[in-house]
Amino acid sequence: MRLTGADILIECLLEQGVDTIFGFPGGAVLNIYDSLYKYRDRIKHYLTSHEQGAAHAADGYARASGKVGVCLATSGPGATNLVTGIATAYMDSIPLVAITGNVALNLIGKDSFQEVDITGITMPITKHNFMVKRVEDLADIVRRAFQIAREGRPGPVLIDIPKDITVHECEYEPRVIGPIEHKTVVTNGAIEKALALIHDAEKPMIYAGGGVIAADAAAELYELAEKINAPVTLSLMGMGAFPATHELYTGMIGMHGTKASNLAVTQCDLLIAVGARFSDRVVSKVERFAPKAKILHIDIDEAEINKNVRAAHYIVGDVKAVLAKLNQGIRAKDRTPWLNQVMALKAQKPRAEHNGRLTPGCVLEKIYELTGGEAIITTEVGQHQIWTAQYYKFTRPRTLITSGGLGTMGFGLGAAIGASVALPGKRVFNIAGDGSFRMNLNELATAVEYKLPVIVVIMNNHALGMVRQWQSLFYDSRYSQTTLDRQTDFVKVAEAFGAVGFNLTAPEEVEKVLKEALALDRPVVINCEIDRDHKVWPMVPPGAALEDVIVDESDLVKN
């Protein structure tokens, strides 16, 4: 059948199983939006307040559902407003297809109104990008974009479509799109060498990351840990890949990891890294990272092997498939002395001791208690992000949605909207700081418009808390531009957007306010007034090794 480019685009999205798009219209995509109007009974479009919100919503949708997220923006500023969201997805390996309009082909390169070289701009932050120059190529480009976004290590792909391509017609033939097959060719020799390392180890430790979640390999990781009796630590992106309630779990690793995890990694003789990339926030001082350990690295992306830390042995392949093969060959071994050593190191997670004052811990622990750990938690970026990882016990994959690699302030609310759309009926909390929340609070209008019962919890310390913490500890308390003594009333802001607002100032109010919020089937903002100098502990100081982790300021003085 003969269709316009705009209709071909929508038909191809339907081929891929897309039923949800987040976006914002403009001149260069008018024909696409006209087609969306025609197909409105088959694809739901969510109009965000800003294109960055659309990108973060598509990202949150992808993380919560495991599907490819889709966002749409017009040319020029519309396209560039997507860039931070695309980069966020790229750093965290999230499958996303961003569609942008552009000026007509004959106007490209002439500094036309709202023209920008978006393929050039996004080249470093996408797995691949395309500019469509012939309508006859559009269908295959869309199909290829989705394949690239999903296959191997997932990531974002951009399709730039000049306006005249959306008008031109050509023949379109529908296709049935099958599942992506992750090709893993792992030799028996590679598996046998890995098994030998595991069997020889007296003190094995597992360090798992977001690749386990991307590969849907949490069950295989669980089996491996129990079969070899190894403690498990997770990166921030890996939270939920292994249950935080399991006795083998030692907490997060890295700059704000637990003392147990950081010291166990320092003392182990084999570190099994699964779907993790040894980022600087995990490793800290490279030359003193896991100094007694051989490293076995399992990852789908060969580029990550020996990039930051050298491995004694590695296996490149789909994590789920590789772990399944390893689990078949594991032999039982008594590692009681090592487990006893780790259990002795394993401290309780920080308690929400308040001494009459409201703290992040008492709020987050109560959220966990009242939701039975079944909520979807998104975060902005800062101290509140780390407190969330410390106090909320994530037991399943895709329940923590946070910007790990890029550290994007303003990410959480858009991501919460996407997660709420992806998982209707699930309660979604966005844990925010007052600084981060201000960046994209306009997306409250989106949540209200579509009646999404997102609960925003603002840890309001009237400061850019994480930066202030560094200024306090390492810059002699010179608080340059981190104090936010602004007059913003977040309750009134919420009400102005049509949401419900609460102020929370004392620990005895926490349960009552949260229960009221959970009883409402609409967006809620809870402003939690916390102490400006409530810090994130533990912490590995800059330039230090994991074993130099400090648990409070008195440790810093000693060191």
For 179-218, what is the HEC assignment?
CCCCCCCCCHHHHHHHHHHHHHCCCEEEEECHHHHHCCCH
- 466 as an active site residue: the answer is yes
- Cβ partners under 8 Å of residue 502, min gap 6: 491, 513, 516, 517, 524, 525, 526, 527
The pLDDT of residue 171: 97
The pLDDT of residue 354: 58
Q: What is the chain's alpha carbon radius of gyration, rounded to the nearest angstrom?
A: 24
Catalytic residue among 113, 451, 512, 553: 113
**Predicted confidence band of residue 347 (pLDDT cuts 50, 70, 90):** low
List the Cα angle 311/316/321 in 5-degree steps: 125
- 289 as an active site residue: the answer is no
Residue 350 has pLDDT above 60, yes or no: no
Give residue-wise pLDDT tens across range 295-313: 999 999 999 999 999 999 9
On average, the pLDDT of the chain sits at: 95
Residue with tokens 């597992």: 206
- 426 as an active site residue: the answer is no
Every domain of the chain with CATH number 3.40.50.1220 lies at 188-345
Catalytic residue among 16, 22, 51, 130: 51
Q: Pseudo-torsion of CA 200, 206, 211, 217, nearest 10°?
A: 80
The pLDDT of residue 184: 72
Specify the CATH class of 2-171 in words.
Answer: alpha beta
The pLDDT of residue 186: 81
Indicate the helix (H) or strand (E) that contains 70: strand 69-73
**pLDDT over 70 percentage in the chain:** 97
- Higher confidence at residue 485 or residue 118? 118
Residue type at 126 in one-letter notation: T
The pLDDT of residue 181: 78
Q: Average pLDDT for residues 216-238, to the nearest whole number?
A: 98
Residue 558 has pLDDT above 80, yes or no: no
Handedness of CA 220, 226, 229, 230 (dihedral sign): positive
Specify the CATH class of 188-345 in words.
Answer: alpha beta
Could you give the 3-state DSSP secondary structure of residue 130?
A: strand
Residue 349 has pLDDT above 60, yes or no: no
Q: Are 95 and 63 in contact (CB under 8 A)?
A: no
Phi/psi of residue 209, nearest 5 degrees:
-130, -165
Query: Structure pTM?
Result: 0.96
- 114 as an active site residue: the answer is yes
Q: How many CB atoms lie within 10 A of CB 226?
A: 14
- 471 as an active site residue: the answer is no
Distance (Å, whole) CA 260 – CA 248: 11
The pLDDT of residue 82: 98
**pLDDT over 90 percentage in the chain:** 93
The pLDDT of residue 251: 96
Which CATH number does 360-529 carry?
A: 3.40.50.970
List the Cα angle 267/273/279 in 5-degree steps: 90
The pLDDT of residue 188: 80
Residue 352 has pLDDT above 60, yes or no: no
Every domain of the chain with CATH number 3.40.50.970 lies at 2-171, 360-529
The pLDDT of residue 555: 67
The pLDDT of residue 551: 87
Catalytic residue among 15, 44, 67, 114: 114
Distance (Å, whole) CA 392 – CA 457: 13
Residue 258 has pLDDT above 90, yes or no: yes
Give residue-wise pLDDT tens across range 373-401: 999 999 999 999 999 999 999 999 999 99
Q: Are 430 and 490 in contact (CB under 8 A)?
A: no
- Cβ partners under 8 Å of residue 106, min gap 6: 164
